Structure 1
Amino acid sequence: MATVRIIDSLSKIDAESWNACALQADSGHNPFVSHEFLRALEASGCATAETGWLGQHIIIEDNDRVIGVMPLYLKSHSYGEYVFDHSWANAYERAGGRYYPKLQSSVPFSPVTSPRLMVHPAADRQETGRLLTRAAIQRCQDLDLSSLHVTFAPEDEWQLMADCGMLQRQDQQFHWLNDGYQSFDDFLAALSSRKRKNIRKERREALSGGVTIERLTGKEITEEHWDHYFSFYMDTANRKWGRPYLNREFFSRLGESLADRILLVMCRRAGHYMAGALNLVGDDTLYGRYWGAIEDHRFLHFEVCYYQAIDYAIEKDLAKVEAGAQGEHKLARGYVPSKTYSAHWIGDESFREAIDRFLRQERGQVEGEMDFLEHFTPFKKG
């Protein structure tokens, strides 16, 4: 008989047991759901009860062996999620309900598609996935919460959760897909002449002010690099979001535990670092995360975040680059519309029906927008 256990911190499960479920051979290594990444968020104080992310992680055990895990948080707000439900919260509370707290299964502050129903290779994937889903719904009911939200899930998990009674939501991001390119020029050859010329121009101008690029990974990354990078992150976060989610300690912990899965792209000018971008490396995907700069150079953001990522993915034979949420400007740079998936369980029946109607309409709109945007990709037609 499988048993369910709820833990409020990743410190209460060993990394080996968690990673045996999270980092499966069939889906490849995704660093965002690793024990090391999620634990760094907690231990640094970024994702804790004080910041509105209280762990409610689900552990499924069979004969004292962990066969399934699910990252789960009790949330007192909807920040740091990137699948927006603020209008739902406002509507529910105007009707006299209490939307917060809610349950949220995601990687805090990272709009990255990655497993949520994580199953040990020796266990039945479908059955254990259902157990995890039902346990999350049961936790929501036990705590008398308004809702459960599972965001940026893979499509197969999204379908399984729908079979368990959760509502389905779709959105889109822009991902670069590797069509067997052997070099960046090989990729450019697949684009229309005008787009190809524009990208070459942007790459030249990005470095025209004496900027040089360094790619760092593993032991090459020092605390001094993190000091510089954090200053870039803070400058951009304060201007763009108003409140940075991550602190300096998080990056040190990340460097200690996942150094070989980090690609830090740093920019120098006049002997000083002045911009940089953090990427995490999966088995088949490069995940672009945070960019920051303390100097303004035209097109440098595109070079560091998009073109350097494509270069690296081609060199390492990675299938895809995910460069974060939103951003139709990525379209002209070879990133194409790609679906993202989330699932939602709503406790109140009438509210659930209203959300269901909204999601059905929204899915149609997303499909229509993606079909429309496909006409504007930079690739040669036909």
Structure 2
Amino acid sequence: MQAYLVGGAVRDELLGLEVKDRDWVVVGATPEDMLAKGFKQVGADFPVFLHPETREEYALARTERKQGRGYHGFTVYSAPDVTLEEDLQRRDLTINAMAKTEDGALVDPFHGQTDIKARKLRHVSEAFAEDPLRVLRTARFAARFRPLGFTVCDQTMALMRKMVDEGEVDHLVPERVWQELQRALHERAPDGFFEVLRDSGALSVLIPELDSAEVFQPAMKALLCIHEEPDTSTEERFAALLSPLGENAAIARAKALKASNDCQNLTRLATAFVPQLRKMDPQNPDGDALLDLLDQADFWRRPERFTQLLSVIRCALPDEGDSLKMLQTASYAASGVDPKALLAQGYKGKALGEAIRSERLKRIVDTVTRDDH
């Protein structure tokens, strides 16, 4: 029984990056052997165990055989006779198919270290084509390592295009696409993910609305703009990505991807606001229109989301700074109205609602007209 450090920990160490998660493969053991040594079994699909002290994951060496379409169609074989090389061969990219012995010697049967030096993302074997999720994973690694100079090698890109042409990508379920997509939005060069998907043909299957140049370019520009802001959320990044789309198309795609409710709601607001702000004339402010936008955004109950919305619109409409400033100024002015004070003056029911709106409108008009617009 031998344990080997595998995958990302080995790759990141060779790249000089911080190693966050350490995963191990165990060769020559049975589940009973692991349990006898105090390991705790987790994972239903194949035997994975937590180390009794470090809590790091130890998986028994395994092979996989394709049985059907999509990423579900695999049978897993795990037994003491599976070798380390057989386990590494089932992995996606050569840079992820390296191992280290417990005393630190590198095991690299598929030349991952060479590809690290050449800054290439290359598939380990033709078995790559059996799992369409690997198209998304390769695109995500491209987004992560592009700042280090990595690109997808020609042979792997050709294989990914073939997978798309043969309909493998059509079998990906939305939940897995969304899982990879939201992780990609936070990678170091998130546009790289979508560029690789586009080059491979997968974008036209997964998010066809972004595939044309007239939409793709502003989408990437908005995404990179929001990416450069500190600590932006997944929903802000996703809304920026879909901001060039029409409201209905954006909502439909967000639902099809099974994006979270927060992502769907911010996307709906951003794509509704973009055309309305484009139409506004900062030289002739329309108080009613500004107040309607604040109502649409539910600014009164969701001020934090309104702040997110402004960030997205700032990136979606870089040339509409005056309109955006006008909306922000209106929000400051209108937020000063205190419904409790109006209630104390005797307003109630419908009259209270009308008085609140009237006071908010008055403050917006007074402020934006005074604000040199």
Same fold? TM cut 0.5: no
TM class by smaller structure: under 0.3
- Report the TM-score, using the length of structure 1 for normalisation: 0.26
Higher helix share: 2
Over alpha carbons, which structure has the higher Rg? 2
- Report the TM-score, using the length of structure 2 for normalisation: 0.26
Higher strand share: 1
Higher RCO by CA contacts (8 Å cutoff, separation 6 or greater):
1
